[in-house]
Chain A
Amino acid sequence: GENVEQHPSTLSVQEGDSAVIKCTYSDSASNYFPWYKQELGKRPQLIIDIRSNVGEKKDQRIAVTLNKTAKHFSLHITETQPEDSAVYFCALTPSGNTGKLIFGQGTTLQVKP
C-alpha cells in the first residue's frame, strides 16, 4: 500500500530560526496533503493542508510546498517560538475516494528559547 516517509524524526532549533520537515510518497494519485500538530498528551490538530492543484500555501508563519513531479511535500515554519515545540505529522490520501489518510512517522520539533 501507500507509504509516507517523513524526515527528520527529531529536529532542534533555536527560537527565531526556521524549521523544515519533508515527506516523500509514491502514489501519484494522492491529491490531499494535510499537516497535523500534536502537543504532548493532546489530540492531533490540523495546522495547514494543500491540494494537488496548488504548489504552495501559506498561513502566517507556516507554509507548505508540494512538488508532485518529485512526489514530496514540506512544512516550513519561520520565526519559530517555544510554543511550536510538538510532534508534527504529514499525511496524504491514497488513491480511491475513501477520505482515509496515511500518516508519516512524525517529527519531534524542539524550539530552544
Chain B
Amino acid sequence: NAGVTQTPKFQVLKTGQSMTLQCAQDMNHNSMYWYRQDPGMGLRLIYYSASEGTTDKGEVPNGYNVSRLNKREFSLRLESAAPSQTSVYFCASSSLAGGITDTQYFGPGTRLTVL
C-alpha cells in the first residue's frame, strides 16, 4: 500500500498562475482533507471531504477550490496564485464511520512557492 500520495513534491509559480495539487489514497478511506502549514501556525484546514460527493470549507478556504474526483482522489486548485499562498500543503485521509473519528494519515506534502 502506498498510503497517501501527493504530486508534485515541489512547485514554483508566478503570481496569477493556476495549478492543481493532486492527492490519492489507497486505504479505502471515506474522508479526505487539505491542510496548509506555515511556520509557527501549525496545520490549518483548507477544505475537506467527509465522504465521496461532498466537500466543505475549513478554516482558510479563500483562494482555493477542491474536487473529490472519486473515493480515492481529492484535488486542490489555486485559480490565481498569490505570494500569501506560499506554503507546504498536506493532504490527509481517514476513516469516518458512525461518527467515530479515526487516525488521519498524511501525504508527503507539496512545497509551493509563489513569486
Contact = CB atoms under 8 A, between A and B. Distances in A.
Nearest to A1: B59
B96 A98 contact: yes
B48 A100 contact: yes
Contacts, number: 63
Given A43-B106, A43-B109, A49-B103, A101 B59 contact: no
A110 to B, nearest CB: 16
B107 A99 contact: no
Contact of A97 (B42, B96, B107): B96
A99 B90 contact: no
Interface in A48-106: 49, 89, 91, 93, 97-106
Main secondary structure of the interface of B (DSSP, over half): strand
Nearest to B93: A99
Given A93-B101, A97-B99, A100-B33, A43 B107 contact: yes
B43 A44 contact: yes
Interface string A30-41: 011010000000
B87 to A, nearest CB: 14
Contact of A104 (B42, B94, B102): B42
A46 interface: yes
A105 B42 contact: yes
Nearest to B107: A43
A28 interface: no
A23 B103 CA distance: 19
A1 B56 CA distance: 15
Given A43-B109, A45-B106, A46-B104, A105 B40 contact: yes
Most chain B CB neighbours (cut-off 10 Å) among A43, A101, A105: A43
Contact of A32 (B31, B45, B101, B106): B101
Contacts of B35: 103
Interchain residue pairs A-B with the least CB separation, the first 4: A97-B99, A99-B96, A43-B106, A103-B42
